[in-house]
Copies of this chain bind each other. A is one copy, B any other.
């Protein structure tokens, strides 16, 4: 059989979702396609490049409408939720996307959209960048934890007392950071109890 680059990515996504990141090897993908491992190097320069394409595909599939119409803070919440949902949709999605992001590969970084949203909030670029990466680190870390616990549960080892991370603690952490960001909003004093401007 003769495949296109996108066919390989598609199959890699399936292997990832069904067998996890540890089993996502070049040899495994090749054998599932009925190819020799070396054939993959016609489509991708290295495994890292293939993984970056897989991460981009996962984020693409979770992409929704643009966030330009929303208020800056609603846009930030929407982007973070979209990112979380996209990564949760595939086994080890968060670990894969975070790894690709850490290596500076992949073209779908959520930092750009977040900086844009924060820019509409009137924040300086330096501050917007620091806030955006803080948010991204939180989302990656939290969703990785969620998926690790999902995995542990599905294997059967459920500790009763343990605090499980989920949508609740995600929103809590997210609003924590957002509250911190709002406090730096230039030229404004905040109403602490509602989180909305009071002047």
Contacts and interface: CB of A to CB of B under 8 A. Distances in A.
Copies assembled: 2
A178 B180 CA distance: 7
A145 B169 contact: no
Interface stretch (A49-57, A82-90, A187-195): A187-195
20 contacts: A102-B145, A104-B148, A104-B152, A130-B169, A133-B142, A133-B165, A133-B169, A133-B173, A137-B138, A137-B140, A137-B173, A138-B141, A176-B180, A176-B181, A178-B180, A179-B180, A179-B183, A179-B184, A189-B192, A190-B192
Interface in A141-191: 141-142, 144-145, 148, 152, 163, 165, 169, 172-173, 175-181, 183-184, 189-190
Interface of A: 95, 102-104, 126-127, 129-131, 133-134, 136-138, 140-142, 144-145, 148, 152, 163, 165, 169, 172-173, 175-181, 183-184, 189-190, 192-193, 195
B103 A176 contact: no
A176 B173 contact: no
Contacts of A165: 133
